Amino acid sequence: MNQRHWLDDPRHVKLLWRLFLAVLAAVVLVEPFVRLHPYFAIEGVFGFHAWYGLSACAAMIFVAKALGMLLKRPDTYYEEGAGDDE
């Protein structure tokens, strides 16, 4: 079972990254050739879904990180004295 998988080779991971970036570029560059039917003005901005998705995700990760600073506890939190806490 210990033979190396195709994915264990860093060169292949690098190849996958390149492919991924190429696909990213492709789905944005193809936009002018597709007849969009925007309902809102903002949808008509070039590559809206791409940059909106990227920035929305970044924002959610930042919010999660900030909330985590306040509310994260060791995962044994409720186990300490579990018998009488619950």
| CB nearer another protein, residue 18 or residue 65 | 65
38, 44 Cβ separation under 8 angstroms: yes
Our CA angle for 7, 11, 15, nearest 5°, is: 85
Interacting residues toward another protein by CB under 8 A:
1-2, 5, 7-8, 20, 23-24, 27-28, 30-31, 34-37, 39-40, 42-43, 47-54, 56-61, 63-65, 67-68, 71-75, 77-78, 82, 84-86
Question: Least distance to another protein from the beta carbon of 11, Å?
Answer: 17
CB of 14 to another protein, least distance (A): 13
The answer to whether 40 and 48 have CB atoms below 8 angstroms apart is no
Q: Are 50 and 28 in contact (CB under 8 A)?
A: yes
